[in-house]
Amino acid sequence: MSLDPIRTDVPENAEPLQVEVEIAAGERVEILVSPEPGPNRVRIRRQAARSGGRTAGLRAAWARWNAHRLPYREQMLFRLGMVFCALMVLLFLPRFPVSFTAVEALPSLSAEHLLKTGLRGPEGDFLPVFFRVDGQYTLGLGAYLQFLAVFLLGKSVFLARALTGLVSLAGAAAVSWAWRGGLDLRTWWLIPWLLAVTPAWFLHARAAWPYALAASAFGLVLWAGQRALRGERWAYWGALAAAGLGMYAYPPAVVPLGILAAAVTLLAARRLPRRGLTLAVGAGLVAAMALPYVRFALTHPDEALQPLQLASFWLDPELSLGGRLEGLGAAVLSGLNPWFWFAPSQSGPLLQRMLGYAPVPLAFLPFFLLGAWRLLRGPWTAERRLAAAALAASPGAAWVTGASVGALLPAAAAGVGVTALGLGMTFDFLERYRPFSRPLLAALTAVILTASGTVMLSDAVTRGPLWYRDYGLS
């Protein structure tokens, strides 16, 4: 290997850069350093040796896998964060949220009905999309999620809520992987920790409401979309499927999920192998996902809009066009209003609030602003454009229903990703200009978030029954 001569024109204010790389026998490694600071400053390209026996190939594979691990074992921190998030979501489920409403009980009751009728709906149709309760039709994705649990273990408050919590864990993992793969975020492992201590996510992931299902589908679409940008057509199809399932969980989520799926299609179209065939299969998948709803709408045109009529101000017959536009403007402004997110609010449905807690902790605000500045500064790669599109589309459900914490839950998840980006920049600064190491910063952050989450969980379980007098049920 030939080496270039040592440069003598290095500026006096230049700072040394230390890079640690494990190189397997016979492996070729290229280290590319960008003059611009940031998480993508150093890139490592590896090429395994084509000869040298079976042992050399195994060592090269180990080196490639080990290159994704940092000195403080970010994979281990991610797993610990997922365990912490699972404990926050699943512990004391029957005790908080305090009230178990009909909305939470409906999926389990619908699953029980499917068992008794041989997977047929109220009108005899096989694998129904809609379920009718008290003369009203609701979409039935939750019923199918509850089906196996009801079949094996029966109905219970814990099971009804635990399945939503497990889906929310998948959403948290998907958001983390999306920010790691798309923006090479070194603090991607922080996202489960941050979501666990975010009151909006904490409350909705513990309740059998459809909001956490839609927010998790949003995270899955973002993660699959980032993988589709690498040319993985199965990931592209998975993004479309996740968007369709999220719509069946919570109909107003069709707006953010549809916008994000369209952004994935536009950004990934040129990178997908066999583009024409891949896009054609994707269009067929979208048609297949929409077909059950279209079939029901043709058979029951009035009932098909009931799930939206119950939630959307656009379909309120008592509102004029001006009133509907006013509702849209109020929803857009609420999603952009820091007071809505970072101050304990007394607006919105009572069941979607925790007394004394803001939807997002105020301590996240400076890191969110720092991360948003870094995201918008560029460079505008396709992966960064998709992340920005997700952040812009995430409040879309509120444009249909009006501002509420549940409708804006995808925005909370996207905002936590931006917050993790800001924390990563803070870690870089402290490590460079202060006597802090990344392992120490990671440990301190994990301890602080664990303590904060433990206090919030204890407060919700012990004091939650005393927050309100009727919890909106009277």
Stretch 191-208: mean pLDDT: 96
Q: pLDDT category, 68, cuts 50, 70, 90?
A: very low
Stretch 32-51: mean pLDDT: 63
**Long-range pairs for 434-441 at CB < 8 Å and ≥24 separation?**
438/70, 438/71, 438/72, 439/71, 439/72
Stretch 254-265: mean pLDDT: 96
pLDDT at 51: 47
Look up residue 418 and give its two tokens.
């931006």
Which residue(s) pair with 47 in the sheet?
28
- pLDDT-wise least confident of 62-66, 114-118, 354-358: 62-66
Stretch 137-142: mean pLDDT: 77
% of the chain surpassing 90 pLDDT:
48
pLDDT at 38: 62
127/452: higher pLDDT: 452
- pLDDT-wise least confident of 32-36, 47-51, 309-313: 47-51
Burial grade of 179 (CB within 10 A; 0-12, 13-18, 19 or more): buried
Question: Angle formed by the axes of helices 233-249 and 141-153, to 10°?
Answer: 80
The answer to whether the peptide bond before residue 379 is cis (omega within 30 degrees of 0) is yes
Q: pLDDT category, 37, cuts 50, 70, 90?
A: low
Report pLDDT digits (tens) over 145-185: 998 889 889 899 999 999 999 999 999 999 999 999 888 88
Report pLDDT digits (tens) over 5-21: 444 455 555 666 677 67
Q: How far apart are CA 411 and CA 200, in angstroms?
A: 10
258/68: higher pLDDT: 258
Return the half-sphere exposure (C-beta side, CA atoms, 13 A cut-off) of residue 337. 17
pLDDT > 70? residue 424: yes
pLDDT at 436: 77
Distance of CA 383 to CAs 243, 272, 391, Å?
19, 14, 13
Question: Taking the model in full, what pTM does it have?
Answer: 0.83
117/58: higher pLDDT: 117
pLDDT > 80? residue 218: yes
Q: pLDDT category, 71, cuts 50, 70, 90?
A: very low
- pLDDT-wise least confident of 48-57, 302-311, 326-335: 48-57
